[in-house]
Chains A and B, each alone.
Chain A
Amino acid sequence: MKKILLSAAVAAMALGAASASAFAADKYKACWVYVGSIGDFGYTYQHDQGRLAVDKALGDKVETAYVENVPESDSATAIERMARDGCKLIFTTSFGFMDATIEVAKKYPDVKFEHATGFKTAENVATYNAKFHEGRYVLGQIAAKMSKTGTAGYIVSFPIPEVVSGINAFMRGAQTVNPDFKVKIIWVNSWFDPTKEADAAKVLFSQGADILVQHTDSAAGMQVAEEQKKLAFGQASDMIKFGPHAQLTAIVDNWGPYYIERINQAMDGTWKTQSSWEGLKEGVVNMAPFTNMPDDVAKMAAETVEGIKAGTVNPFMGKITKQDGTVVGEDGKMLPDGDILGMNWYVKGVDDKLPQ
């Protein structure tokens, strides 16, 4: 019974994947493969905003298409279909699409691929990622200033490096304000499950947290914070509508400029494989307006953002003490990119055991 239900659910996911395209014969075709639905108002929504920005900027030369709700376990089929459908440049936007992207790219050497948040490249496969942890450092500072209980609640999806480095950056930021700041962590084992996210938020607030941070995609947690008169940070999109009195700021993903730049390069023949990793400075990561906080906290946050843009402040600069007491890094130097992109350890002060 359970197996039937499970396979039925998988079938539902696979068939639920819908595709849309605007027909035009001689335009350059750029395509997107999304893990979630464009209506999630979170991660996939923001990628699709990037696609729409391409439509707006290059609509007379470029045709775009996308497929949504592609399960990570069976993404090769969807990616290959895009390649066969005449897509010249394909963006695959989830970490779990990595191996499938590489595999399909081998079969279609004339098609260019860009994989988000992964680390494997090839002649025709580039990777791109955003330094979300820069934004999370700012959140940490704000949280430590604004929290009355000295404890934040943190809802997370899966223990991949991007999420772990986010938790660490948040704590590093918080510790600059309050060295004893605490964080309670709940892994919901899903990127997107609104009711679970709401449950986790309620539990965290009941356990003494008064500020909510999330690394999952829906605005459910924000709504709980608003209802319980607590504070929260938005994720991926500006969620101020869901928490007019709760949202302090939000980390907003802004992929449009990157997509436009890369498609332009692909069209004029200057596209090369690369590993792009941009953040606040380049505008791939934006902060939503600082709201529901006193002016001095907003000022501090703005200064930190400027510092990160200028390169004088960074979440992973200098000596860093790990949870187990060992020290990495050197004074005045940044942790190497590889260490952040592969981060699988907590900094000191995180009271959680990292799931392996």
Chain B
Amino acid sequence: MDAVLPILLTIIAAATPLVLAGIGELMVERSGVLNLGVEGMMIMGAVAGFGAAFMTGSPYLGILAAIAAGAAMALLFGFLTLTLATNQTATGLAITLLGLGLSGLIGKPFTGQPITRLPNWHGIDILVIFSFILTGAVAWFLFRSRAGLIVRAVGDNHTSAHTLGYPVIRVRYLAVLFGGGCAGLAGGYLSLSYTPQWIEGMTAGKGWIALALVVFASWRPWRLLAGAYLFGAISILAFTVQTFALGIPSQFLSALPYLVTVVALVIISRNRLMLRANTPACLGRPFVPDR
């Protein structure tokens, strides 16, 4: 049993950043916006969170800075895609590239500096607990509240929502800012808790995994949480299996989390009718009001 608890705790740590960033992106996509800038927003959150914690000595200020940095990148993304109606795919990629480059520049003085980790109990800290609260809150908001209904309406048919008098652009701005804040927070979790240091490129593709999870979870919050935990669990178990030296190729074990997660989520979401009902119909389509 001694070996089981640490492994469970490691799985929780591995899943948390995916949940935080994924839930944010889920809200964004539900409003009809495809944000490929998650990775860039995440790494900006990581560097800002670390920087603030390093300079002030307070990891909590680090958390706030991480959210603010992610939201700031999201604001830029929103201005380009919503106000100027640029192509969302290209803009999202540009935001990711910008984030990766800019974070490296900002982070130069922080390289090789340790900080005190966010207070935690065996690795369980407030961000882990918050990731569950966030999932529940977003699930309730989207499917049980009037405001959530409006978000989904905007994502499903922005023309009708506009005709009914809903402020499509404003709703999308709020969703994008929320998503950016969540991505920034996920980055902050990496640099303040998971590996409490700043390293250039430390997100190492986690933003992309979160993005993929949103799609494979068919835009349902609790499924996304399950997918993130499944992904984390398989990654960690694959490492554990390696220590038994069974001779299973490590390359195969490394690929396993991706395979298993995709297959599992596709099976859960195999009902085509439900899938179509869940997919935001206006996803990725810019909205330009007639007047």
Q: A18-B104, A199-B239, A223-B196 are in contact. Are A12 and B212 (CB under 8 A)?
A: no
Asked if A207 is at the interface of the complex by the 8 Å CB criterion, the answer is yes
- A8:B96 contact, CB within 8 angstroms: yes
Main secondary structure of the interface of B (DSSP, over half): helix
Chain A positions 193-209 with a Cβ under 8 Å from a chain B Cβ: 193-200, 202-208
Chain A residues near B236 (CB-CB < 8 A): 199, 203
- B199:A218 contact, CB within 8 angstroms: yes
Contact segment of B142-150, B164-172, B240-248: B240-248
Asked if B205 is at the interface of the complex by the 8 Å CB criterion, the answer is yes
- A202:B212 contact, CB within 8 angstroms: no
Asked if A16 is at the interface of the complex by the 8 Å CB criterion, the answer is yes
Q: A8-B208, A9-B205, A353-B247 are in contact. Are A39 and B200 (CB under 8 A)?
A: yes
- A195:B195 contact, CB within 8 angstroms: yes
Distance A91 CA – B206 CA, assembled complex (angstroms) = 31
| Residues of chain B at interface, number, CB under 8 A | 54
Q: Mark A168-202, 1 if CB is under 8 A from B, else 0.
A: 00000000000000001111111011111111101
Asked if B194 is at the interface of the complex by the 8 Å CB criterion, the answer is yes
- A194:B240 contact, CB within 8 angstroms: no
Which of B9, B196, B206 has its CB near the most chain A CB atoms (within 10 A)?
A: B196
Asked if A107 is at the interface of the complex by the 8 Å CB criterion, the answer is no
Distance A83 CA – B95 CA, assembled complex (angstroms) = 31
Main secondary structure of the interface of A (DSSP, over half): mixed
Chain A residues near B114 (CB-CB < 8 A): 223, 241-242
Asked if B112 is at the interface of the complex by the 8 Å CB criterion, the answer is yes
- B113:A241 contact, CB within 8 angstroms: yes
A11 to chain B, nearest CB (A): 7
- B254:A206 contact, CB within 8 angstroms: no
Q: List 28 A-B contacts (CB under 8 A).
A: A1-B215, A2-B212, A16-B97, A16-B201, A18-B101, A39-B198, A40-B200, A41-B199, A45-B111, A189-B251, A194-B194, A194-B199, A195-B14, A195-B190, A195-B202, A195-B206, A196-B204, A199-B235, A202-B9, A202-B10, A203-B236, A205-B6, A207-B3, A207-B243, A218-B199, A219-B199, A242-B114, A352-B245
